[in-house]
Structure 1
């Protein structure tokens, strides 16, 4: 018996030695002023710090309370630089897809430049610090790949909203436009011919903008802010990133192929054990016998900036409800606030959605918000404004767990109709709960999976063995255009030669009628 226990003990020690990694120095770069983007990245960084790694995080959001092994490098310039974008979301609602793409890449240019020129970041670049790994949010900030080369460390990318051309190009994940909908279009994975045509044209347009508009700007920022010697940015994009962690899950999206180095960890920021709510909020929700409607337009869009007619439409619609309403309102006062409405500038969203009395989540349709709603089985009413929000709400309607109210069509009547439809039809709730069951059915907590892959890259010194060979191929080689040219060109050439030979033979054959005429 003692021998058996000794064997078990030794086996356990061996397993631990092979699965653990020594404490590493990790740099996290999460530059956006969008709190939701930071929420995803910080969840991973805090988990790594808790495991004993020493993490340093570049972001505009410093910790309110000092955490063990967690060090902030707080950017300040970025707030002023990004203000024209964050305050102009609602005014750009009428922009077409092309204008939206151009605006988003301009957003990325300003974000990248203001972060890399921030005094705190400049000081870090000029320091002699050492890092074993760089974790970088991939969000139109290619120049920041310079951190990986500058600190001679492997890089793990994080996408806060799933796969896109920005991420797939870093690890060679295929994205055929025949069934992979572009994030800027509200298509499914089953497209008509017209939709496939539009999807392909949009993907081509995005590639051209990336190549001829964004890339030159990012190269200039990269060359200016990181010291020589350094490889070209194109080389870094092909070789620097070991893996990309996606905030997505197939149960919430569509099945699609991924290379080994692209891993779905959707919802890793969701607290599986909700925290207790503040006493006043808990009491408000507990006493809502008819249920609660939670309304938030996310971190980028402020409800207080809604035009007066839109604001009054919400107020009038909410005032007629039996349900109580929690409204994310970024001001201390709300004129004409109904008694059944409780306002606050920021809510513990995940903890609120976990409350059993929540009936509907009125949202902008961002991926984090819809993901949290589905995790807790809450139907949604979406008011998409930009980016992938239209795609997310199109999925909600097709999945039967949500309705869309277009921003330009907001009225008391449309809002009331959408709310009453979901409240009166139990299928919306049942569909949300069904997807919640699928989403929760995972062999491993997404945050644990993300930590595993980060440590995997650390253990294997960048894990070059999972890098796909497609990253070394040109466009012609990747699509086998040279092979197709041979396979199609050689038969065509042979056929052409054969036709020429036959025609020449016919032209050289004597004309018997002409010969008879000469003899006569």
Structure 2
């Protein structure tokens, strides 16, 4: 008992020791930083000393946080929904190529900054390096440069190439690939498409991201260990997913799900917004496509159809939209209330919000589930079709595509969500299982980061699958050996059987062998006569 208490106290003391952490967040995506920023703030409150490289400087920076600001180095990333993409390439291929190109470009711009180069040439040391994991891995050499373990932050479900880096099973028979939009119960064609999508995504990542990222890393860090080898040495990766709302999938110990980590209970409503929500006796429909997709850029003819449906509703529709950017020929219904910025989590958790019209982004989906609000999803990009399918399969949402938008589809979907109580009931059940955890997701993330610190990189979390060749991992050598053993066994039995038969024939008395031959001949004649007789009778 005393030994257990001593070990516990030692672990707590080790956790309390402040460590020096380097956090590198190269992509300029505000929705991703909603997750990363919460983690940075929590680590700072734990008295760790942080050096943060990001596009989003903290509004109030604690004294134990140093920042290298990337603000303004690359333009904000957003999708213009007016632009329609027509190509022979499948949508998931086009989306992957675009994401990888954006991530590699961001990586290139960050690597050229004098402040980043000065950091690499400094004598400062770090106990841990935290890097963003998404479309590039060009900053993985930081772990080797500072001789520190590396923790990855992933703002989505595990990506196809990322599973390979961690030795995490793909399970394409029931785990839909990123961007495919399949459910977990796939038919034969879907399983074939799913498997091809995973293989194709890995090939794309190799040639569209890994090779150009390697060139950037070689220029910045000099020639050293290749990125594909460094990617197999993550101590830990925190994934913004959870089995209750995403896919049930096998996970290695180094991959920890912290879906919902960004949920901020301290978020407050402005006075104007609170008054609007409180006064809406018929309820509120909240419509937002996140920070990257602008509702006002939807083609005018489609937006006019959506506005026509909204004008017939008794509910107030709160929209995150810049009204001044709308086309002049559009008439905005009286029951639409627009704001440039809305605190989404606090808004969704208001009891008067009845439906959330969303693009199906993972962060917004998690917020809707945490607040128990049914969804109308309009997937546009990346993993949004996958998230929309997951919510529809759980009976908490309806899905509409922007290409097939018309008055009938919107009217029918909104009517079902507002009048069918099953959507709300299913969402409340999903909320209960999503929030029911041993500890909150933010605390889970902090615990595992400090776990890696306590155990000097925690190499015991690394999967031994990473040390196997593809032949060994797929058991192809076992299959070949098994076939060889089976063939050898059959051949030996065949030789033995022939030998025994030969010996038996030699030992058989000559008179009996003659008798057997006559008997066989007579029996054959009998069968021939019988056949001829039957043929004539017929």
User: What is the TM-score of this pair, normalised by structure 2?
Assistant: 0.85
The 5 A counterparts of 1:278-317 are: 278-317=270-309
Work out whether 1:426 is the aligned partner of 2:416: no
Number of matched residues?
496
Which structure would you say has the larger Rg? 2
Map Cα deviations across residues 175-204 of structure 1 (whole Å, 9 max, x no partner): 221111111212222221221111111112
1:259 Cα shift?
Answer: 1.0
Q: 1:215: how far off?
A: 2.3
Assess, with a 3 A threshold, how the Cα gap between structure 1 residues 99 and 332 changes in structure 2: closer, same or farther: closer
Judged with a 3 Å threshold, the aligned counterparts in structure 2 of structure 1 residues 316 and 138 are, in CA distance, closer, same or farther, namely same
Contact 1:274 1:354 in 2 (8 A): no
Matches of 2:416 and 2:340, distance apart in 1: 28
Q: Deviations over 1:256-289 (max 9, x none)?
A: 2111111111101102x34331100000010000
SS in 2 for 1:410: coil
The match for 2:149 is: 154
Secondary structure of the structure 1 residue equivalent to 2:337: strand
Match of residue 243, structure 1, among 215, 228, 236: 236
Give CA-to-partner distance per residue, 1:153-189, whole Å, 9 cap, x none: 1111111112122432332111221111111212222
The structure-2 alpha-carbon separation of the partners of 1:13 and 1:194, relative to structure 1 and needing over 3 Å to count, comes to closer
Q: Distance in 2 between matches of 1:411 and 1:33?
A: 34
Q: Contact conserved, 1:50 with 1:68, CA < 8 A, in 2?
A: no
How far the C-alpha of 1:114 sits from its partner, in A, is 2.2
Q: Which residue of 2 aligns with 1:4?
A: none
What does residue range 15-26 of structure 1 map to in structure 2 within 5 Å? Answer: 17-18=12-13, 20-26=15-21
Deviation at 1:105, TM superposition (A): 2.5
Supply the distance in 2 between the matched residues of 1:180 and 1:105 (Cα, whole angstroms). 22
- Further displaced range: 475-484 or 16-25: 16-25
Give the superposition deviation at 1:414.
Answer: 2.1
Residue equivalent to 1:259: 252
Other-structure match for 1:318 = 310
Q: What's the CA shift for 1:354?
A: 0.9
Q: Deviations over 1:82-108 (max 9, x none)?
A: 75x744795338761333333333233
User: Which of residues 432, 457, 466 in structure 2 aligns to 1:471?
Assistant: 466
Question: Does structure 2 retain, via aligned residues, the 8 Å contact 1:27–1:56?
Answer: yes
- 1:234 matched to 2:223? The reply is no
Normalization by structure 1: what TM-score?
A: 0.88
Asked if the contact 2:308–2:407 (Cα under 8 Å) also holds between the matched residues in 1, the reply is yes
Give the corresponding residue for 1:518.
none
2:53 maps to which residue? 58
The answer for the alignment partner of 1:386 in structure 2 is 381
Cα 1:310–1:147 shift into 2, 3 Å:
farther
The Cα of 1:330 is off from its aligned counterpart by 3.6
RMSD: 2.8
d(CA) in 2 for partners of 1:11, 1:497: 63
Q: Of the candidates 342, 345, 354, which is equivalent to residue 350 of structure 1?
A: 345
Deviation readout 1:451-477 (Å, 9 max, x if unpaired): 000001011111112212111111111
1:413, 1:447 → 2: CA distance?
Answer: 42
The answer to whether structure 1 residue 175 and structure 2 residue 170 are counterparts is yes
Instruction: Give the structure 1 partner of residue 477 of structure 2.
Output: 482
| From 245, 260, 263, the counterpart of 1:270 | 263
Q: Which residue of the partner structure matches residue 126 of structure 2?
A: 131
Aligned-pair CA distance for 1:494: 5.6
Residue 48, structure 1, aligned to residue 43, structure 2: yes
Counterpart in the other structure of 1:192: 187
Q: How do residues 498-509 of structure 1 correspond to structure 2 at under 5 angstroms?
A: none
Q: Call closer, same or farther: CA 1:492–1:105 in 2, change over 3 Å.
A: farther
Query: Where do 5+ consecutive residues of structure 1 fail to align?
Result: 1-6, 507-520
